[in-house]
């Protein structure tokens, strides 16, 4: 069994790019991101096309790698260039997630480091940081000193948690900070 695990580990390591490859990808993604952000002032809030992004299906998901330049060009044309652009200053249809650049960098770091903050034991520092953020938001809202909360991945789970909390009606006290 150990031999099989070691063999699979070698295969998995092939997915980790060398530093030079990471640098090249980082440069391309940063260029894409800066172009996107620099053009927001002139980008429409809604773009309707006949094709409606259908051509992205020509880049089928398969085992063979697709060049990043091709992927970013397709993203620009078939994802960014169609439909609602919630990052546009003209979009006011609903409240989209924040498009703050420092937040995106934080998300990037979180994704790269892959710290699981859902369990204290796994990442006590990350859990403490999340708790600090919640306490800060409570202070911003003028909530009492003993107020607490929870960060969720989106509105659906936040609403579900609110409904369950309202239904249960039992206050929860956190013992860790």
Kind plus residue range of the DSSP H or E element containing 163: helix 155-168
User: Are both 136 and 92 inside the same structural domain?
Assistant: no
Same domain, 133 and 103: no
pLDDT tens-place string over residues 86-105? 887 777 777 665 577 888 88
Residues 124, 110, single domain; the answer is no
Taken in order 75, 42, 92, 111, is the CA torsion positive or negative?
positive
What does the alpha-carbon distance between residue 169 and residue 162 come to, in Å, rounded to a whole number?
10
Q: Summarize pLDDT for 135-170 with one digit per residue, the tens.
A: 999 999 999 999 988 888 888 999 998 899 889 876
Q: In 10 A of CB 45, how many CB atoms?
A: 14
In the three-class reduction of DSSP (H, G, I as helix; E, B as strand; rest coil), residue 134 is classed as helix
CA atoms within 13 A on the CB side of 122: 7
- The reported pTM is 0.70
Residue with tokens 């090249």: 24
Domain tally, the chain: 2
Give strand pairing partners of 84.
46
H/E stretch holding 84 reads strand 83-84
Domain extent, residue 159, equals 120-177
């Amino acid at each position: 069994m150990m031999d099989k695990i070691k063999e699979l580990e070698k295969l998995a390591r092939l997915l980790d790019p060398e530093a030079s490859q990471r640098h090249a990808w980082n440069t391309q993604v940063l260029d894409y991101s800066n172009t996107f952000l620099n053009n927001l002032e002139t980008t429409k809030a809604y773009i309707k096309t006949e094709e409606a992004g259908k051509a992205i299906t020509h880049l089928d998901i398969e085992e063979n790698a697709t060049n990043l330049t091709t992927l970013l060009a397709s993203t620009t044309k078939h994802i960014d260039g169609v439909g609602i652009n919630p990052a546009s200053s003209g979009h006011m249809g609903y409240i989209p997630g924040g498009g703050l650049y420092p937040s995106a960098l934080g998300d990037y770091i979180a994704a790269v480091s892959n710290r699981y903050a859902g369990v204290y034991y796994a990442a006590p520092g990350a859990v403490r940081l999340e708790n600090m953020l919640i306490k800060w938001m409570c202070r911003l809202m003028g909530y009492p000193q003993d107020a607490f909360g929870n960060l969720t991945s989106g509105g659906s789970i936040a609403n579900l948690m609110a409904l369950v909390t309202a239904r249960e009606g039992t206050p929860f006290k956190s013992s860790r900070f």
